[in-house]
Structure 1
Amino acid sequence: MMLDTATLRVALAVVDLTLLLLFYFITFRRTRSAYSGWWCLALLLFLSGNAAYLLDGTPHQIWANPLGNVLLVAGAASIWAGARSLRTAVPNLWYLAAGPAITALASLLDHPATNVWSGAPAYLGFMGLLIGLGCRELILLDRQFSRVHLTLAVGSGILAAFYVGRFAVFLAEGQDGQLFQSVFGSVTMTVFSTVIMVVASFTMAELSYEQQTRDLRARATEDGLTGLLNRTAFLDLAKDELRRLNRGRTPASLILADLDHFKAINDEYGHSAGDIALQAFADACTATVRSTDLVGRYGGEEFIMLLPGVTPERAGEIAADISGRLHASSSPVIPRLPTSSYGITSTAPGRLDLDALIASADAALYRAKTLGRDRSVLAGSLEEDSA
C-alpha cells in the first residue's frame, strides 16, 4: 500500500521530535558544544517546517506553506553553521538569514493560497546550497578530527545533490513532470530525509563529544586573554621540542619578552587598556613567527618564544619585527601602545635544560631593561642589539 504524503510527514515529524528529545537530553545537555546546539536547532526547525506543511489544502495554506519553506531553509542554514563551528567561526548572522529571507519573499509572491509549491525554486535551491556548504565544512576538517565526519560528509553530500537534482528537474519540467513526481516528489523526499536524519543524528553525537573534548583541551593549553599557549603548556611542549631538536642536532633560540612600563598603562588607562596591549603584542607575535614556533604567555606582561632552527642573530631580527608590528598597531583606548624589551638565548650542544635557557634569557632581558628598555640583548655576550 502506498503511503500518502501527509502520513509520511507525520511519521517524519515523530522521528524529528524523538531525535530532538534524545539529542537534547543525551548529547547537548552533556556536551554543551556549539555543534550539538546547532543540530538541535536544525531538528526543531525541520520539525516545525514539516508540521506547517500538514496545513496544505486548508485555508491556512496561504501562510503555512511559505512558513514551512522558510523553516526548512533555516534548518539547512543551521546545519551549515554547526558544521562550520567544528572548524572555524560560525558564519555571520546575515549570511544565515539570507536564504530564509529570500525564500520567504519568493514563496509569498508565488500564490501560496493555491500553489503548494510556492517559492519552490528558492526553497529547493537554498536547501541544496546550504546543505552542500555543510558538506564542504565536514570535508575540510582534519582527517584526525573524528572517525565519522567523512561518513557524515558523504551523507550530507548525497542529500545536497538530491536537492540540487530536485531544483534542476523542477525548473526543467515543473511540479507535474513525470520525472519530478516519480523521483523527486514529496513522498520520495520525505522517506529519504527520514533515513538521512536518523543516520546523521547518531554520527553527529560523536562529533559533539569530539568538539567538547577539543574545547576542553584548548582551554587547558591556551591563555584565555591572548589565545597563545599558557605557561604550563608552553613548558611541556618546549621540553619535548628541545629533545627532538637535540636528536637532530638542530639549534634553536629562546626569546623572553616583557612589555615596558606596563603598570603605568594599567594605572593611567585601566586594566582593560592593559588587556588590549597584551592582545596587541600577542597578535604581533603570531603575525611574525612561523607556525612551527612555540609562543606562550609566560606570566603577566611576559611572553616566551622557542624558535627551532633560528640563530640568535635571526632571533634579534624577529624581535625587532615584532616591535615594529606592535608600534604600527593602534588602539582607541591607548594613545600609544607600549614598547617591549627582549632577552635572547640559544641552545648549545648538550644544553637541554629548559630552566637554564629561560634563566639565561631572563638575565639578558634584565640587561635590556637596565640599558633603557625597547631593545633586545643576546645572552652570553650581553651586547646591546637595538630593537
Structure 2
Amino acid sequence: MFALDPFTVLFTTTLTCAVLAAAMVSVHLSFRREVAGVGHWACGLAAMVGAGVLFLLRGKLPDALALPVANVCLTWGIGLSMIGTRRFFGEPGGWAIFHAAWTLELAAILYWLLVEPNFPHRAAAFSFIVSVFYLDQLRLVWRHRVAHFTSWFFGALLALQCLNTVSRGVAALFMEPDAANLLRSSALANVYLAIANFMALLITVAFLMLATRKLQQILEQRSTHDPLTGVLNRRGFLQFFGRVRARQQRSDSPLSLMAIDLDHFKAINDQYGHAQGDKVLMQVAAVIMRSARQCDVVARFGGEEFVVLMPDTTLAHAQQLAQRIQALLRDSLQAGTPSCTVSIGIAGQHLVSESLDSLLARADHALYRAKANGRNRTEIAGPAPLAA
C-alpha cells in the first residue's frame, strides 16, 4: 500500500498556502474596492500557515499548547474563507457563526485532550464544525450561481471537500481509533490527507478565479459605461449599435435615435457649482432610464448630451417617449436640486444603408433647431438624403 508522508504533505501545503496568501494580499491591496472578501481569504490562508507551522513543530512544543492553538488557527483559516466568500457575494460576514465555531472547537479539543483524552472525538468535533463553513459557502455558490465554469468549479470543490471532511468525522466515531489519525499510515488517512490538502489549495485557486472574473467584468463595464451616471459611454454605445444594426438589416425594422441636451447647463454649473451640476446630470440620466424601455439604450456622449437608441420604434413613438421624459423631469425634481429642462432632437433611420454618423448628425440638427426655437421642446429631423 502506498503511504503518504504526512510531514512532507503538510510542509508542501503550508508553503503553498504562504505563496497564495501573498497573492491574495496583492489582489486585496490593488482591488479592495472592486472585489470584496479577498482580504479575509488572505487572513485565512495566513492562519492556515500558522496552523501548519505548529503541526510541523509538534514534538518540540507541548501538545497541551501546540494542538489547541493549531486547531484553532486551522478553524480560523477555514472560517475566514467563509467570511471572505460571504463578502464577495455581498452578504453579511457571518461573524456569529465564525466565533461560535472556533470557540466550540477550542472547548472540544481542550476537553478531549486534557480532561478526558479521546482522539476520535477530537477529530470528529473538528470535522463536523469546519464542515459548517464549507456548507455555508456551498449555499452561497448555489444562491448566486451563474452559468459559468468558475462558479461550478468552485462549488464542486467545496462539495468534495465537505464530503471528505464529514467522512473523516464519521470514520473517527464509528471505525477503529486510528482510522482518522493522519500521523498513522492507513488507507483512509492517506485518502483524506491527499484530498484535504489538495482541495484546500484548489479551492483557493478557484476563489481567485472567481475574483479575477468579477474584476474583469468590472473593468469591462468601466470601459463601456459613464462613471458618473452609470449609462453607456460612446464606446459602449457603438458596440450596442453594431448589434442593433445587424438585427435591423435582417428584419428591416424601424429605428429611431434621440439626442438630448440640458438647457442652460453652464449657468447651473456657474450658479450652483459643479457638484450640483453632477447631481443634475445623474437625475436627468435616471429620468431617461426610467422612461426608456428595456430594449432601448441610453448613453452619455460627454458634457450634458445624452443619446437614446430605440430599436423597432417609429418617429411617432419616439416623440411620445421624448414628451414623457420632459414631463417626468418637471415632476421629479428633488429638493435642493436646481431645476432644469432638456431639448430633444429625434431622427428616424429609414434607410438601412444610412451610417450612424449621418443619423447622429440629423438628430443633432433637430436638437439645435429645438434650442433655437425656445428650448424645452422636441423637434423631428427630416428624412435622410439618398446619398446617406
TM-score by length of 2: 0.72
Tell me by how many angstroms 1:160 deviates.
Answer: 4.4
Q: Deviation of residue 30 (structure 1)?
A: 12
Equivalent residue, structure 1, for 2:119: none
Matched residue count:
358
Which stretch shows the higher mean deviation, 185-194 or 351-360? 185-194
Residue 206 of structure 1: how far off its partner (Å):
5.8
**2:371 equivalent to 1:369:** yes
Match of residue 244, structure 2, among 237, 241, 244 = 241
Supply the distance in 2 between the matched residues of 1:346 and 1:182 (Cα, whole angstroms): 80
For 2:13, the aligned partner's letter is: L
Answer yes or no: is the 8 Å Cα contact 1:66–1:112 preserved in 2: no
* Paired residues of 2:228 and 2:278 also in contact (CA < 8 A): yes
Q: Structure 1 residue 33: deviation in Å?
A: 8.8
1:73-122: CA deviations, max 9, x gaps?
1112324545x4xxxxxx15x435454244355556x4663255778765
- How far apart, CA to CA, are the structure 2 residues paired with 1:248 and 1:120? 61
Q: 2:174 aligns with which of 166, 171, 178?
A: 178
**Map of 1:355 onto structure 2:** 357
Q: 1:341 aligns with which of 323, 339, 343?
A: 343
- When residues 59 and 280 of structure 1 are mapped into structure 2, their CA distance, relative to the original with a 3 A threshold, is same
1:258 matched residue in structure 2: 261
Q: Give the Cα–Cα distance (whole angstroms) in 1 for the partners of residues 100 and 257 of structure 2.
A: 55
Shift of 1:283: 2.6
Alignment check: 8 A CA contact 1:344 1:376 kept: yes
Q: 1:124 aligns with which of 124, 128, 131?
A: 131
Counterpart of 2:111 in structure 1 is 114
Aligned-pair CA distance for 1:66: 4.1
Equivalent residues in 2 for 1:284-299, closer than 5 Å? 284-299=287-302
SS of aligned partner of 1:114: helix
Deviation, structure 1 residue 302: 0.6
1:45 corresponding residue in structure 2? 44
The answer to whether the 8 A contact 1:253-1:345 is kept is yes
CA RMSD of aligned residues (A): 4.2
Report the Cα distance in structure 2 between the residues aligned to 1:293 and 1:66, rounded to whole angstroms: 55
Q: Deviations over 1:164-218 (max 9, x none)?
A: x46xx96xx7x95216979988756553232223445566666666555544433
Query: Structure 1 271/153 Cα, relative in aligned 2: closer, same or farther at 3 Å?
Result: same
Q: CA deviation at 1:57?
A: 3.4
Shift of 1:378: 2.6
Structure 2 counterpart of 1:15: 16
Equivalent residue number for residue 73 of structure 1? 79
What is the CA-CA distance between 1:251 and the residue it aligns to?
0.3
> What's 2:98 paired with?
100
Rounded to whole Å, the distance in 2 between the matches of 1:125 and 1:180 is 25
Distance of 1:190 and 1:289 partners within structure 2: 58
Is the contact made by 1:74 and 1:97 (CA closer than 8 Å) also made in structure 2?
no
Post-superposition Cα deviations, 1:336-384, rounded to whole Å, max 9, x if no partner, equal: 4533232122111345222222222223223333444334333339xxx
1:222 has 2:225 as partner: yes
2:65 aligned with 1:59: yes
- Asked if 2 retains the 8 angstrom alpha-carbon contact of 1:222 and 1:233, the reply is yes
Q: Percent same amino acid at aligned positions?
A: 24
**Quick one: structure 1 residues 62 and 33, their matched pair in 2 at CA, closer, same or farther if it must change by over 3 Å?**
closer
Q: Distance in 1 between matches of 2:307 and 2:344?
A: 9
Moved more, 215-224 or 270-279: 215-224
Flag structure 1 segments of 5+ consecutive residues without an equivalent. 85-90, 382-387
Residue pairs, 1:313-324, within 5 angstroms: 313-324=316-327
Task: Give 1:253 deviation, angstroms.
Answer: 1.0
Q: What amino acid is aligned across from residue 289 of structure 1 in structure 2?
A: A
**How many angstroms apart in 2 are the aligned matches of 1:180 and 1:380?**
89
Distance 1:221 1:285, change over 3 A: same
Task: Quote the offset at 1:300 in angstroms.
Answer: 0.4
Using a 3 Å threshold, how does the CA distance of structure 1 residues 364 and 149 change in structure 2: closer, same or farther? same
The answer to whether the 8 A contact 1:33-1:212 is kept is no
SS of residue in 2 equivalent to 1:59: helix
Asked if the contact 2:164/2:195 (under 8 Å) is kept, the reply is no
Contact map agreement 1:134 1:156 (CA 8 A) in 2: no
**Could you say what secondary structure the match of 1:343 adopts?**
strand
Candidates 269, 272, 277, aligned match of 1:269 = 272
Moved more, 220-229 or 65-74: 65-74
Contact 1:343 1:378 in 2 (8 A): yes
Match of 2:346, SS state, is strand
C-alpha deviation, 1:155, in angstroms = 2.3
- Cα gap change, 1:107/1:155 in structure 2, threshold over 3 Å: closer, same or farther? closer
Mapping of residues 182-197 of structure 1, within 5 Å: 190-197=193-200
The answer to whether the Cα contact below 8 Å between 2:48 and 2:73 also exists between their aligned partners in 1 is yes
